[in-house]
Each structure stands twice: as structure tokens, then as C-alpha cells.
């Protein structure tokens, strides 16, 4: 009997990935099907359904699911789910597909067959529908009104841009996944299926595991968050995104090296596991924090470390809104349908010269001038401009890896700072 937290949804890990002879037969059939090109975000979602990361989802959402998730954080059957997982098609492609028909889903880059799908429903997504979704999913406390939100969101919020760029019709239905998109080959030993992480945790005898979400290089603040979690849990799962980010963010292979350097030099290795997952960032702040906790439950984690501005972008969200949202979500009473992975809420962390060590707003009585406020955005900006980093901003070994990466860039991307990056505390 496993000691680990059960997968979300009460159905165990729901796996849509075919392998062996079954996969070969489905691939052969897919060659003769109507082909629909999918976006990078949709491809990541598809892979997560394949490997059980999005349990209990087994396909792209119906209109009832989409509406329930946006409005009430609930699928049509009453299961908690925080963000839409939808597939869009052009009006022309959708017109050639009838309900009940099987189609093949192909990657945007190269047209590789990723999956087959039985279309159970088609529903139009008007401009107004997309805007409504954006307001429900992406509008946080950082923007008080819809009017204020739209003044900046279309230009400055990559998640909003992603939704508004979707095609005009959503296709819903169950999928059979035929590819993991090259992630196992590109990130061997790092990219993991939930069954693999669960096996590692079981072998180590862990029960309480905290997940650390990473999309930036692991700096001193992340290290401190991990070490707090190690003190109160059996182990920490440093789980970084290896899918797509926005321009200016640091590639996964560089971040993986940084994490491994820290694990090798500054952690007891028996208490930490590094892994990677194949999603694109949505930059949905509080809603994405809930998504991170939901699929970490599937990976075997009982706690989700939530610090300052989790999964945020710009100034769209309150600094600790991703923590308080966990107190506001519905808690379905039916077994398995509620989110069981709970937040490990930690205040803004930094190095304090007067404390002579890492601290947080809860433990450090000193002023801003005594603190080295650690922000991934500011780190990227300073490195991209060749500036000297303040002492204690990052470990020397990690900074060396990042400098090597930036020195090798032929094209620079402008990196915008915001309140979170410049030390302005918004609670």
C-alpha cells in the first residue's frame, strides 16, 4: 500500500499514452485521418494527459468543462480543476470535422503526429468568449478592473496573448497520445512521468514531499525555500518547466545545469530529487499556482511551495495572491474530486546583511537597504547587460554558468522589470 498522496480525481493515474504495438497500429491509422495542427501549449497539455500528469483528464475540455473551470474551478462532473485545457481549430478545419469523427493532432514544428482524438463536441470561441476566459483566468489583484486589465494585457501578458491568438472553434474529446515530443531524449533523467517520480519517492520511503516550481535559474531565494521545506517534509522535488517560456527567459538546459550544481554542492542529495515537466508557462499567477499543485499531486507531492508572485508576470497579481487563492477554492465532498496537495506558504525571502544570512519578511526586522532582494527577472536583466551582481545574489558556481550562457548569445532580448523585481512589496 502506497504511503504517497493519491493522484487527483480519484481514478488513479489516467494514462492516455500508447506504447509498443498498440502505438504502431494507431500511428498507421492516424496517417489516413484529418490532421489538425496544434500549438506548443496544446502539445504540452497533450503530453501531460498522456503520462498521467493531468489526471483525471483524458481529453480536451467540453464547453461545459471550460465554462465550469473558468467560473467555478470545477469540471462538469464536479472535480476541481483551475485552468482550461482546450484545443482550438480554424473554422475551415472545424467545418471538415463532424462529432464522432477521429482526427490526428500534429505538431506545429514539423507536422509530427502527436495523438489521435475522437471529437465529441465542437464549440465556437468568439472574441468575447476569449476575453471572458482571460478575465477569469489571468486578471488578478494587480489590476482592479477589466478596463484597467485590457489597457495593458494585450501587449504585456503572454498568457492573454496566447488565448487571444487561439483559433475560432474548440474541439473536445478523448485522446490517444503517441509521442512525448522528444522530451525523454532531450532531458534524460530529468524529464519524468508521474509513475517514475512516485517510484523514486516510494524507494526513498518518503511520504510528505514538497514540490518547488521553477522557471527561472535557481538562485539563493529558491535554495532557501527548498531548505525550509526539507526541514518540515521528508524530501523536496525540484520540478522545473522544460517546455516553452517567453522571450528573454533562460532555456531549460541551462536551468537544469544550475539546479544540479546547487544540489551537488549545497544540499544533502538524499533529501532532494530534480525533475522536469513538459508544459509551456501560462503566466496565470494564482490560477497557475493551483494548476502546479494539482499536477504535483499526480507526481506524488503532498505540498506545493508557494512564495512571492508565484507564476506571475509584470504587476498583474498581488505578491501573495497565489497563496490566498488556496483558501478560496471549492472543496468538493465527493472522494478524490478535491485538491489534496496543500500549499507551503513562505514569505518573501532574501539575504540580509545585518542578519548575516537568508531571511524573510516574517523573520527579518531590518530595512530594504540591508537586503539583497533576489528576483529572477532582475538577475536576467543584470546578466544580459553584463552588470556586476550584488554579493549574495546567487551562488558563484551558478552565476558562472549563467554568465557563460549570456556571453554566448548573439541576440539580446530586452527584459522589463516591475515592482516584484525592484523590491516594492505589494501584499
pTM for the structure as a whole:
0.93
Q: Is the dihedral of CA 74, 246, 255, 309 positive or negative?
A: negative
H helices within 278-363, ranges in order? 286-299, 321-324
Catalytic amino acids? 215-216
Check if the beta carbon of residue 59 is closer than 8 Å to that of residue 173: yes
Closest C-alpha among 122, 142, 83, 427 to residue 287: 83
Q: Is the dihedral of CA 86, 92, 93, 97 positive or negative?
A: positive
Closest C-alpha among 145, 209, 219, 195 to residue 402: 219
Enumerate the β-bridge partners of residue 105: 36, 115
* Dihedral (Cα; 311, 312, 317, 320), 10-degree rounding: 50
Enumerate the β-bridge partners of residue 306: 345
Residues contacting residue 56 through CB under 8 Å, at least 6 positions apart: 7, 8, 9, 10, 11, 14, 79
What is 125-144 written as a DSSP string? --HHHHHHHHHHHH--TTS-
Closest C-alpha among 175, 179, 58, 165 to residue 111: 179
Mind listing the pLDDT tens digit of every residue in the chain (427 residues)? 789 999 999 999 999 999 999 999 999 999 999 999 999 999 999 999 999 999 999 999 999 999 999 999 999 999 999 999 999 999 999 999 999 999 999 999 888 999 999 999 999 999 999 999 999 999 998 888 999 999 999 999 999 999 999 999 999 999 999 999 999 999 999 999 999 999 999 999 999 999 999 888 888 889 999 999 999 999 999 999 998 877 777 889 999 999 999 999 999 999 999 999 999 999 999 999 999 999 999 999 999 999 999 999 988 999 999 999 999 999 999 999 999 999 999 999 999 999 999 999 999 999 999 999 856 677 777 888 888 888 888 899 999 999 999 888 876 656 555 554 445 544 3
Residue 56: is the preceding peptide bond cis (ω within 30°)?
A: yes
Distance, in Å, from the CA atom of 288 to the CA atom of 290, rounded to the nearest integer, reads 5
What the chain holds in terms of domains, given with CATH numbers, is 20-125+166-181 (3.10.400.10), 187-407 (3.40.50.620)
The number of CA neighbours under 13 Å toward the Cβ of 128 is 0
Amino acid at each position: 500500500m502506497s504511503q504517497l498522496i493519491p493522484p487527483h480525481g480519484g481514478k488513479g493515474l489516467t494514462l492516455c499514452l500508447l506504447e509498443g504495438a498498440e502505438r504502431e497500429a494507431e500511428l498507421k491509422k492516424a496517417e489516413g485521418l484529418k490532421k489538425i495542427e496544434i500549438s506548443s501549449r496544446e502539445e504540452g497539455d497533450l503530453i501531460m494527459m498522456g503520462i498521467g500528469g493531468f489526471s483525471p483528464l483524458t481529453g480536451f475540455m467540453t464547453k461545459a468543462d471550460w465554462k465550469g473551470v473558468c467560473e467555478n474551478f470545477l469540471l462538469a462532473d464536479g472535480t476541481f480543476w483551475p485552468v482550461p485545457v482546450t484545443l482550438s481549430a480554424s473554422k475551415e478545419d472545424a467545418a471538415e470535422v463532424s462529432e464522432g469523427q477521429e482526427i490526428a493532432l500534429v505538431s506545429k514544428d514539423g507536422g509530427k503526429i502527436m495523438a489521435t482524438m475522437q471529437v465529441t463536441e465542437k464549440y465556437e470561441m468568439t472574441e468575447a468568449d476569449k476575453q471572458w476566459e482571460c478575465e477569469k483566468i489571468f486578471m488578478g489583484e494587480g489590476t482592479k478592473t477589466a478596463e484597467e486589465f485590457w489597457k495593458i494585457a494585450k501587449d504585456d501578458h503572454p498568457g492573454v496573448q496566447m488565448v487571444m491568438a487561439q483559433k475560432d472553434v474548440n474541439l473536445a474529446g478523448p485522446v490517444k497520445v503517441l509521442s512525448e515530443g522528444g522530451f525523454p531524449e532531450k532531458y534524460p533523467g530529468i524529464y519524468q512521468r508521474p509513475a517514475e517520480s512516485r517510484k523514486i519517492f516510494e524507494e526513498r520511503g518518503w511520504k510528505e514531499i514538497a514540490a518547488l516550481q521553477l522557471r527561472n535559474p535557481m538562485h539563493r531565494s529558491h535554495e532557501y525555500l527548498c531548505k525550509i521545506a526539507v526541514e518540515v517534509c521528508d524530501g523536496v522535488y525540484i520540478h522545473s518547466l522544460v517546455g516553452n517560456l517567453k522571450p528573454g527567459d533562460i532555456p531549460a538546459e541551462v536551468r537544469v545545469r544550475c539546479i544540479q550544481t546547487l544540489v551537488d554542492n549545497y544540499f544533502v542529495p538524499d533529501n532532494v530529487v530534480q525533475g522536469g515537466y513538459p508544459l509551456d508557462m501560462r503566466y496565470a499567477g494564482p490560477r497557475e499556482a493551483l494548476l502546479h499543485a494539482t499536477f504535483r499531486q499526480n507526481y506524488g507531492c503532498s505540498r506545493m511551495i508557494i512564495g512571492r508572485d508565484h507564476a506571475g508576470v509584470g504587476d498583474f497579481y498581488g505578491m501573495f495572491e497565489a497563496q490566498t487563492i488556496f483558501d478560496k477554492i471549492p472543496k468538493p465532498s465527493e472522494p478524490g474530486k478535491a485538491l489534496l496537495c496543500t500549499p507551503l506558504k513562505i514569505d518573501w525571502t532574501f539575504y540580509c546583511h545585518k542578519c548575516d544570512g537568508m531571511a524573510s519578511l516574517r523573520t527579518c526586522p531590518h530595512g530594504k537597504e540591508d537586503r539583497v532582494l533576489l528576483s529572477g527577472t532582475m538577475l536576467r536583466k543584470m546578466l544580459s547587460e553584463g552588470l556586476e551582481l550584488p554579493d549574495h545574489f546567487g551562488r558563484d558556481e551558478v552565476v558562472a554558468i549563467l554568465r557563460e550562457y549570456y556571453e554566448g548569445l548573439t541576440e539580446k532580448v530586452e527584459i522589463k522589470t516591475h515592482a516584484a523585481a525592484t523590491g516594492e512589496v505589494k501584499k
